[in-house]
Amino acid sequence: MPFPTENNYTSTNNTTTSTKQTTQQPQPQHEWVTSDSTTTTTTTTTTATTNNNNTHVALRTTGQPLLSKSDISIILNAAKAFRNNNRKTTTSTRFTMQYAGNSDLHVADLVSMQPSLQPILEKLLHNQIYPLVRSAFLLPHDDDANNDPQPPLCVYDALIVRYDGQAAANSGRDKGASLPLHRDGGLFTVNIALQGDGNGGTLFDNLITSSTKHTASHHDDDIIERAIVHPLSPGHAVAHRSTERHAGAPTKPGEAIREILVFFITLRETLPTTPITLQHQQQSNNPGTIHIMGNPTQYATLAGIERAFYLKEIAAQQSKSPAAADNTGTSQTCYQWALAQNPSDGEALFWVGYFQVQRARAAHDRMVGKEDDNQHMATVTKHVLRIWRDFDHGIQALETVANRLDPCNIRSLAFLGSAYSWRWCFAQECHPQQFGLRQDVELGKAAAVLQRAVRLEELLQGIIVQSEEQLFRATLLDQLAEILLIQGKVGQAADCVEKARS
Ligand SMILES: O=C(O)CCC(=O)C(=O)O
Ligand SMILES: [Fe+2]
């Protein structure tokens, strides 16, 4: 790998600010983009402004660019030469899906072709990227009286991603070149602009949520624009935690080609690890951990965040394999393990809730099939209670995902909507009073989450490349129409059906 690990991080105690600064370099300046207001707060020092709501979504560097114009052109020329030499063999990555108009290449491959890039990257990492990540995301530890080095930062992968809006349009993607919503591997992502005219940008889920909350009257395009973070100019960076769900916003046809250099940063754990705490998350008393918001009993370590990421990858591969049906158990277990590693992982919690609800449905179906069996009453009751518990726990998990951990995930919202109606159908057959459910409340909840999903789908329509997106949209609207009909809202149901057909 051409990427050096961070030099041993030793710090000097500065009690007045309770932060410690490296003696090597001035810290790169940055400002935060926060989700409580869509304006930015300037944080040019390393002061840890602990924030209980974890509203610090992404940062943008200010001051001097991280890369000079001449270094940018050396990198761009090398990337161009690499693409010309490898027209048919562009390496695709796990995180960056390949679409018309997009291309990406591994920086490691680029350096193999042109070793003169090595010193540029080394300088960039040592002088800019590592100090930035350390000062912005990691709190200095308190017990370093012995000047023990903290685990050094290192690069887990690095890419150059290129968005060509015109090429995308020529292949039928008329909204341009973009990347779907995703999370990255590693712990932190630093995304440096190489070229572009301020077009595209990085779109963050957590900024959409706040925009829809605070600016309900805004035009859809405005809401989306406010959720996109742009670097100040070429050479400047946008950085975020890898767990922050984000997308490559479209570079539209006619706009300048956008190219970015993305570093996925993690911590090397081979050194004796002293406690690490993340900035901008409520701190726990438990060293080496971060506090999971809203749930004081659950903690994730930084290592846990990464392990959860890999476990989810394994789970997803299991369900894609030809023996997928046989692998459901493994897949389910991997998601449970992922959640144990990182209890705030909304994606893992979604799948745990999903499997629980599906188990309840399957058991409900089997129960319906056996209605005529002359079963002992006690067995039936036990069975009913087990199904109820699965529905209930599954739905609770999905509600946490929808309301707190992953509020912009259309698929989770859509599934939660269905889960409410399946649970209602089940309860109805087994005397709803015994479970304390009321039809108007249950269907009201189902309609509300489905409406939220439809709203998000409309906002993101065409912007984020998603396979089968039209099909999904139609299913979502049909589901909503069905519930609205039962609620007696015939006009609204008809609107949904019409929308589904358009
Ligand atoms: O286009 C962007 O800014 C996002 C790129 C990205 O998410 C990635 O490369 O993982
Ligand atoms: Fe990404």
Task: Report the atom number in ligand 1 closest to the C-alpha of 238.
Answer: 3
**Is 116 contained in some domain?**
yes
Q: What are the distances in angstroms from CA 263 to CA 40, 154, 159, 277, 312?
A: 23, 10, 7, 21, 21
Q: How far is the CA of 259 from the centre of ligand 2 (A)?
A: 14
- Residues 171, 261 share a domain: yes
Q: Which of 60, 96, 229, 464 for mutating ligand 1's site (highest number of atoms within 8 Å of CB)?
A: 96
Domain end marker among 244, 269, 294:
269
**Is 274 contained in some domain?**
no
Determine which residue's CA is closest to atom 2 belonging to ligand 1: 248
Domain end marker among 202, 236, 269:
269
Angstrom distance (rounded) from CA 194 to CA 29 = 19
Nearest to 231 by CA among 28, 35, 460: 28
The letter for the amino acid at 223 is: I
**Is 325 contained in some domain?**
no
**Number of domains the chain contains:** 2
- Residues 124, 231 share a domain: yes
- Residues 195, 64 share a domain: yes
Q: How far is the CA of 80 from the centre of ligand 1 (A)?
A: 19
Q: How far is the CA of 463 from the centre of ligand 1 (A)?
A: 14
179 in ligand 1 pocket by Cβ < 6 Å? yes
Task: Report the atom number in ligand 1 closest to the C-alpha of 159.
Answer: 9
Q: How many CA atoms lie within 13 A of 307 on its CB side?
A: 15
Edge-to-edge strand order for the sheet containing 237-241? 40-43, 30-34, 56-61, 237-241, 188-195, 258-267, 153-163, 102-106
pLDDT value, residue 38: 40
- Residues 359, 227 share a domain: no
- Residues 193, 75 share a domain: yes
Cβ 150 vs Cβ 104: under 8 Å: no
Joined together, the tokens standing for residue 354 give 């999903």
Q: How far is the CA of 198 from the centre of ligand 1 (A)?
A: 15
**Is 316 contained in some domain?**
no
pLDDT value, residue 475: 87
- Residues 470, 350 share a domain: yes
Task: Report the atom number in ligand 1 closest to the C-alpha of 258.
Answer: 1
Domain end marker among 269, 303, 318:
269
The letter for the amino acid at 18 is: S
Angstrom distance (rounded) from CA 449 to CA 444 = 9
Edge-to-edge strand order for the sheet containing 246-251? 177-182, 246-251, 202-204, 228-229
Q: Render 39-62 in DSSP notation, one character per residue.
A: SEEEE-S------TT--EEEEEE-
Q: What are the distances in angstroms from CA 141 to CA 17, 51, 146, 391, 452?
A: 13, 18, 12, 43, 42
Nearest to 263 by CA among 290, 240, 294: 240
Q: Is the ipTM of this complex over 0.85?
A: yes
**Is 281 contained in some domain?**
no
CATH of the domain at 392: 1.25.40.10
- Residues 359, 228 share a domain: no
pLDDT value, residue 46: 33
Determine which residue's CA is closest to atom 3 belonging to ligand 1: 202
The letter for the amino acid at 111 is: V
- Residues 363, 495 share a domain: yes
Q: For the purposes of burial, counting CB atoms within 10 Å of the CB of 17, is it exposed (0-12), middle (13-18) or buried (19 or more)?
A: exposed
Mean pLDDT by groups of 10 residues along the chain of 502 residues? 76 39 65 69 35 70 96 97 76 54 92 95 96 84 54 91 93 87 90 95 85 57 89 97 91 95 85 48 41 40 81 87 77 90 88 95 83 63 89 95 86 94 90 82 95 87 62 86 93 92 81
184 in ligand 1 pocket by Cβ < 6 Å? yes
Q: How far is the CA of 245 from the centre of ligand 1 (A)?
A: 11
**Is 378 contained in some domain?**
yes
Task: Report the atom number in ligand 1 closest to the C-alpha of 249.
Answer: 1
CATH of the domain at 225: 2.60.120.620
Domain that holds residue 432: 345-501
Joined together, the tokens standing for residue 331 give 């897949």
276 in ligand 1 pocket by Cβ < 6 Å? no
Q: How far is the CA of 105 from the centre of ligand 2 (A)?
A: 14
Determine which residue's CA is closest to atom 5 belonging to ligand 1: 248
Nearest to 128 by CA among 261, 270, 303: 261
The letter for the amino acid at 489 is: K
Determine which residue's CA is closest to atom 8 belonging to ligand 1: 96
- Residues 357, 240 share a domain: no
- Residues 248, 353 share a domain: no
Q: How far is the CA of 247 from the centre of ligand 2 (A)?
A: 7
202 in ligand 1 pocket by Cβ < 6 Å? yes
121 in ligand 1 pocket by Cβ < 6 Å? no
Determine which residue's CA is closest to atom 4 belonging to ligand 1: 248
Task: Report the atom number in ligand 1 closest to the C-alpha of 163.
Answer: 1
54 in ligand 1 pocket by Cβ < 6 Å? no
**Is 181 contained in some domain?**
yes
Angstrom distance (rounded) from CA 257 to CA 101 = 10
107 in ligand 1 pocket by Cβ < 6 Å? no
> Residue 263 CA: which ligand is closest?
1
Q: How far is the CA of 96 from the centre of ligand 1 (A)?
A: 8
DSSP classification of residue 284: P
- Residues 162, 71 share a domain: yes
Q: How far is the CA of 139 from the centre of ligand 1 (A)?
A: 26
pLDDT value, residue 22: 44
**Is 308 contained in some domain?**
no
- Residues 351, 258 share a domain: no
